[in-house]
Amino acid sequence: MKLRNIAIIAHVDHGKTTLVDELLKQSGSYRENQRVAERVMDSNDLEKERGITILAKATSVVWKDTRINIVDTPGHADFGGEVERILNMVDGAIVLVDAAEGPMPQTKFVVGKALKVGLKPIVAINKVDRHDARAQEVINEVFDLFAALDANDEQLDFPILYGSGRNGWMADSPEGPQDQGMAPLFDLVLKHVPEPTVEDAPFKMIGTLLEANPFLGRMITGRISSGTVKPNQTIKVLAQDGSLVEQGRVSKILAFRGIERQPIEEGVAGDIVAIAGLQKGTVAETFCDPAVETPMKAQPIDPPTVTMTFIVNDSPLAGTEGDKVTSRVIRDRLLREAEGNVALKIEESQEKDSFYVSGRGELQLAVLIETMRREGFEIAVSRPRVVFSKDETTGETLEPIEEVLIDVDEEYSGTVVQKMSERRAEMIEMRPSGGNRVRLMFYAPTRGLIGYQSELLTDTRGTAIMNRLFHEYAPYKGEIAGRTNGVLIANEAGEAVAYALWNLEDRGPMMIEPGWKVYQGMLIGIHTRDNDLEVNVLKGKKLTNIRTTSKDEAVRLTPPIRMTLERALAWIQDDELVEVTPKSIRLRKRLLDPNERKREERRKEAEGV
C-alpha cells in the first residue's frame, strides 16, 4: 500500500485535535454505530481536563488505496520538544491557522523548524465560520511569516484550503462548497506530500516517542528509514555517539490503524510503527540491524530555560496523604520521565534529597508535578528559576528572553504596557487586531513573566490572551521587583478554628478554611503589608455559662483564596515551597522554625546578599 506521513502543526486552540477527529470519522476509521469521545487523540486525563494536547500522538487513515499516517502535535510552546522530535517522522505538514487570530508565536516556532527540515507545508485556514474571520488577511500574514523564516521558493508556493474542522469541511474558497467534507484535504495530501524516501539498506529507525505499556513493557515509536523488521528479529540500539546501548529481540511490532494499534508481521520502510521488547533504547537513539555501524542523526533540541527544585517532603504532615515519599522513588520517577521527554533535564543535588528539574516553562513542569501527585507522590517544589548562560567570549551573564504576544481590549492596553515595562520588557509592536482590540508584542526576560499570567487576567478583567515563545539568550536586564505583600504564617500545629480566622481577616485574605490541618511555618494567608507575620489560627473563643441573645457565635468568614498549582508556583518567593500531595496543595516556608529563619536572615545581611 502507498504511504504518506504528515504532521498537523498549529498554535494552541486553533483546532488540530478536532480536525483529526473529522479526518478519522470521514475516512471510515470507525464503525457506523461506534461511540467515540470528542478529541479522541487527547487520551490522558490532564489533556481532557485542560482541553490541550500535551503529548504528540500518531494515528492513520486509509484514503483511495493510500495509508496516511497523521501525527497530532501539542500547541503550547512548553511542549515544543514533542514537536521538534516528530518532524523527522513526516514528509509534509498541514499548518492550521485560525481565520481570526492568524499565525501566532507557536505557529512561528514549529513552522520554522519544519521549513528547516525541508517539509513542504499545506496551509489550512480553520474556523472560517467565525463572525470575526479575516481569511484573506491571514493568508498574507502566513506568507510574510514563511518569507521571514527563510522558506525556499517551493515552500512559499504553498497550497491553501479553507474550512471548519468542527463542521467537518474543507474547500478551495472560504464560501465552500461544504458538501465535499474533508475530501479536498485528503486529495491535496496525496497530491502535494511526497512518498517517504527509502534507503536501500538494512533496517534502521530513529526512536521518536517512548511509552510504557502494561502488557508489552517499553514501546518506542518511530519511522522506519530503511529495510524491514519482523517479530523475533535481533536488533541493536546505537547512541548518538555510536556506542552500543543494548542488543535484543523485537517481541512485537504494532502499527497505527485508525485509533487502534494492531500487531503486524512485518514493518516496512517508510511506515510509522511501535516496537516492543527492548529494555534500554530510548528517544533520539538508532534502532537498527546488527550489521549497521553508524547511528542516524537526530534533530537538535532547544535547551531548557526554566528550572525548579523537587525536594523530598519533610513537613510535619509528610506521608499522611501519599504513599510515594522517599527520594529513591522520586528519583526513579523523574529519570523515567526524562527518558521519554527530551526537553526535560534532571540533575541530582549533593545532599541527595533534592533534584533540579529543568524544562521549557512553568506549564510543562506543572503538568509533570500534577501527573506525579495523581500517581501518589508527595513532594515539595521551589519557585521556578530561569537557567542563565555565559557568553563564551566576554564572560557576560545571559538570560532567556521571550517573544510575548498579548491580545487585549484597547482600554486596558496602557496598564499592560506599564506592567510589562516594570518587568523589563521592551515593546516591539502595537497594532489593532479588530473589534476594539490591540495586539502588543514585547521581548521580555523569562524571569519577569513568571507569575504574570494571573496578574494580567486580573488587570484586564479576564479579557487578555497572552502567548509566549523563547526568542534568544541576551545580556542580563537587571533586577525585577518581586511580590510586594508579606505572608501570614501559622505559629503552631493543629486544626484551624473559624473564630481565629475571623479575627485575622483584618490582617489580609486567607488561603485556608476552618478545620484544615496546619503546622508551624505553613502559609495561611496574604498579609496586607510588606512584612511576614506569625499568627495563631488555633485560638478558639473563650466560652462562659452566661447566656446572651447576641448572634456572635455565628462567625461569617470571607471565602478563602484558592491556590491552584500553577498560581502557587508563580506566587511564592525563593524562601518558600509548595507542598504537593495527592489530596492537598499547601504553601510553606522553606525553614519551618522561626528561629532558623531569623538566623538565615542575619546571615544574608552579614554576607550582603
Residues belonging to the binding site for GTP are 13-18, 126-129
Task: Please state the φ and ψ torsions of residue 529, each to the nearest 5 degrees.
Answer: -105, -175
Cell of 165: 474542522
CA 465-476-395 angle, to 5 degrees, is 145
Nearest alpha carbon to residue 92 among 208, 6, 9: 6
> Grid cell 513552522 — which residue?
111
Radius of gyration of the chain (CA): 27
427-434 long-range Cβ contacts below 8 angstroms, 24+ apart = 433/407, 434/100, 434/132, 434/134
Nearest alpha carbon to residue 301 among 348, 346, 360: 360
Q: Which residues are annotated as a binding site?
A: 13-18, 126-129
> Grid cell 534529597 — which residue?
353
Cell of 351: 545532599
- Chain-centroid distance of CA 383 in Å reads 17
Task: Assess contact for 424 and 401: CB atoms under 8 A.
Answer: no
Q: Look at strands 120-126 and 92-98 and give their pairing.
A: parallel
Residues 6 or more apart in contact with residue 607 via CB below 8 angstroms: none
What are the start-end ranges of the E strands in 258-293? 260-263, 267-268, 272-276, 286-288
**Helix-helix angle 452-459:413-422, to 10 degrees:** 150
- DSSP H helical segments within 281-411, as ranges? 327-340, 362-374
Alpha-carbon distance of 16 to 126, in angstroms, equals 9
512-519 long-range Cβ contacts below 8 angstroms, 24+ apart = 512/537, 512/560, 513/557, 513/560, 514/557, 517/317, 517/493, 518/490, 518/492, 518/493, 518/494, 519/315, 519/316, 519/317, 519/490, 519/493, 519/588, 519/592
Nearest alpha carbon to residue 246 among 290, 202, 294: 290
Helix (H) or strand (E) holding 397: strand 397-409
Residues 6 or more apart in contact with residue 240 via CB below 8 angstroms: 284, 285, 295, 297, 298
Task: Please state the φ and ψ torsions of residue 471, each to the nearest 5 degrees.
Answer: -105, -60
Alpha-carbon distance of 306 to 364, in angstroms, equals 10
The amino acid that residue 431 corresponds to is: R
The amino acid that residue 302 corresponds to is: D
Helix (H, G, I), strand (E, B) or coil at 299: coil
